[in-house]
Amino acid sequence: MIEVNELYFTYPGKKEPTVKGVDFKIKKGEIFGFLGPSGAGKSTLQKILIGILKNYKGSVKVFNQDLNQIKSDYYERIGVAFEFPNFYSKFTALENLSFFRSLYCGKTENPNELLSVVGLGEDGNTRFSNFSKGMKMRLNICRALLNDPDIIFLDEPTSGLDPVNSKKIRALILRKKAEGKTVVITTHNMNVAEELCDHVAFIVDGRVMLIDEPNKLKVQKGKKTLRVKYEHKNVTQTKDFPISGLGENRKFLQLLNENEIHTLHSQEASLEDIFIEVTGRKLL
Amino acid sequence: MRQFLSAVKTDMLFQFRHGFYIAYLLVAIIYIILLKAIPSQYQEMLTIFVIFSDPAILGFFFIGGIYLLEKGQNILENIFVTPFKVTSYLISKIVSLTWIALIFCLLILILVYGFQINYLPITLSILLTSTFFTLLGITLVVRVGTVNEYLFIVTPLYITIFFLPVLEILDIYQSSLFFILPSKASLLLLEGAFRTLTVAEWSYAIFTLLIWIAIAFLFAKNIFYRYVILKIGDE
């Protein structure tokens, strides 16, 4: 779906490239996450992929077509939600969506239905300026889905959302994947990346440091141990056991039999730990 | 076409909700009162000045205000990640501002003169003048960051240059160099309301305005791409 080889990009007037020799592939129907701190080159990469920055070096192919040669019909097939939800402030949610919908020639979604999906079904006639931050973020996702795009670019899709609405949006993203859509997420939220992404790319200083499946990384980079929290003589205690041969580990079995167990956790690494280990940088 | 009409409709709704039409109406009322009150020997001169300045100055002000409001609401980056093109954006702005200029100018003229003047050259002048000044406004406003800079530095500077031929109308100063300015052509067409224009005058006026519009359009498109499209997604 998206194939990028040896991509370099330098902003006009700058000496140093912002994107330095990036390669990656994104398959149809997958959720791909770009993770990295601010200024790492994530948004530049996104601007190249959505066809705004054209004077890059290297090859970028989307839908088997060189991005340097795309025309405005490319936008019929992609949907973009930038990090900040911006709309006409004196228009209602429906007026805004209807306007953006009218800019497409192909098949489009019904704005009322999209609003209902994200829990804004009752708020279509409310002015955008009266929306809360969370409502604006959800409306922003609706706009990216108006043209039923094959590739959806989402920048920090759950930022500013309460847990209930964040869950709604994550479910919506997974539903789009189930429909065969490709989703490209840019984020520094590790939980979003862990939960949603089939592959993540770590980006630091304009380079991709690693691309892999979050679950595989967590197991590979984690300790192969199980941490047990238990109650012993009215004190909560913690003990680690190697996962291999756990079923025959006499000390482990004895601990299970003789104590009240609070929690059992395998010690796989968190994506954040792995990011710091691989890149030597923190995400924020 | 559906896309374009929707853009024009949205622009008009935007202008209405931000109070542009009310502002236009107030200006029109002031103009009507002024033209009715003035002694008849000055009426023609003042009419030409008013009808020229309306699409020119107001169009220039309004496009600046509209662009800066859209920029302030960060709406542009979202419009241009759809199939909507810069050319359509520019034409939509021209159409939405020109029709309102035309309506109000005709309203002023009909209330003051009835149907005793020639409306064809006037209509043409308003259409072409509004188109030119809207495009000129876009090429300038995308470079400036604030309303104040636009209103107090850019507008006086450019309006002064393009208003020089008004000096002729007011019998203050004459120069054949004014013929290269689009405003001279606009004013000449407006004179056509009160006297018959020659074929040469018609041809000169329309040709000059169309040339200026073509140049302004290319500039506007190019500058818009550099200052707006390439900056999409910048924080």
B230 to chain A, any CB pair closer than 8 A? The answer is yes
pLDDT of B235 reads 47
| More confident of the two residues A223 and B75 | B75
Residues 5-24 in B contacting A (C-alpha not used; CB under 8 Å):
6-7, 10, 13-14, 17-18
Lowest mean pLDDT among A27-31, A125-129, A223-227, B11-15: A223-227
pLDDT tens digits for range B94-103: 999 999 899 9
SS3 B91: helix
Identify the pLDDT of residue A92. Answer: 95
- The pLDDT, as a whole number, for residue A283 is 65
HSE, CB side, 13 Å, CA atoms: give it for residue A282: 1
Domain that holds residue B192: 2-232
Q: Which of A267-281, B106-120, B137-151, B176-190 has the lowest mean pLDDT?
A: A267-281
CB-closest option in B6, B7, B75 to A88: B75
**pLDDT for position A40:** 83
pTM of the model: 0.84
> Helix H segments across chain A?
42-49, 93-102, 111-117, 133-145, 163-178, 190-196, 214-221, 250-258, 271-279
Highest mean pLDDT among A23-27, B142-146, B175-179: A23-27
CA distance B231 to A164: 34
Give ipTM to 2 decimals. 0.84
Number of residues written out for chain A: 284
Contact between chains at A87 and B230 (C-beta distance less than 8 A): no
Q: Is B235 on the interface with A (CB under 8 A)?
A: yes
**Which of A114, A82, A116 is CA-nearest to residue A98?**
A114
| CB within 8 Å of A246: residues ≥ 6 apart | A226, A252
Averaged pLDDT for residues A220-238: 86
What is the distance between the alpha carbons of residues A229 and A72, in angstroms, rounded to a whole number?
Answer: 58
Q: For residues B67 and B149, what is the distance between their CA atoms, to the nearest angstrom?
A: 14
Nearest CA in chain B to A104: B83
% of chain A residues with pLDDT over 90: 48
Q: Looking at the 3D structure of chain B, how many domains does it have?
A: 1
Q: Which of A73, A103, A147 sits opposite B3 (nearest CB)?
A: A103
> Higher model confidence: residue A218 or residue B80?
B80
Tokens coding A252: 């482990």
**pLDDT for the residue A140:** 94
Whole-angstrom distance, CA of residue B83 vs CA of residue A51:
11
Token representation of residue A51: 């066809």
Predicted local confidence at residue A99, as pLDDT: 93
CB proximity A159 to B under 8 Å:
no
CA-to-CA distance for B234 and B77, rounded, in angstroms? 9
Reported confidence tier of residue A284, pLDDT bands at 50, 70, 90: low
- Mean pLDDT over all residues of chain A? 89
**Which residue in chain A has the smallest CA separation from B18?**
A90
Q: Establish if B146 touches chain A: CB-CB under 8 angstroms.
A: no
Residue in B2, B82, B235 nearest the CB of A100:
B82
Summarised one tens digit per residue, pLDDT across range A40-57 is 888 889 889 998 888 899
The sign of the CA dihedral A116, A120, A121, A125 is: negative
Contact criterion met (CB < 8 Å) for A84 and B74 = yes
The average confidence (pLDDT) of chain B is 89
pLDDT digits (tens, 9 = 90+) for A51-77: 888 889 999 999 988 888 888 889 999
Interface residue B2 vs chain A (CB under 8 A):
yes
> What's the whole-number mean pLDDT along residues A21-42?
90
How far off is chain B from A227, nearest CA to CA, in Å?
Answer: 43
Q: Is A22 helix (H, G, I), strand (E, B) or coil?
A: strand
- Express each pLDDT in B186-224 by its tens digit: 999 999 999 999 999 999 999 999 999 999 999 999 999
Task: Please tell me the predicted confidence (pLDDT) of residue B179.
Answer: 85
- Position A222 pLDDT exceeds 80: no
Of B2, B13, B77, Cβ closest to residue A82: B77
Mean pLDDT over residues A151-156, rounded?
93
Residue A94 contacts B, CB cutoff 8 Å:
no
Q: Is the pLDDT of residue A124 over 70?
A: yes
A·B CB contacts under 8 A = 73
A102: nearest CB among B2, B78, B232 = B2
- Give the strand pairing for A151-155 and A19-26: unpaired
For residue A68, the model assigns a pLDDT of 83
Write out the E strands in chain A. Answer: 2-9, 19-26, 31-35, 57-62, 65-66, 78-81, 151-155, 182-187, 199-204, 207-212, 225-232, 235-242, 260-266
Between chains, do B230 and A52 touch, taking CB under 8 Å as contact? yes
Q: B residues 53-82 near A, CB within 8 Å?
A: 73-75, 77-82
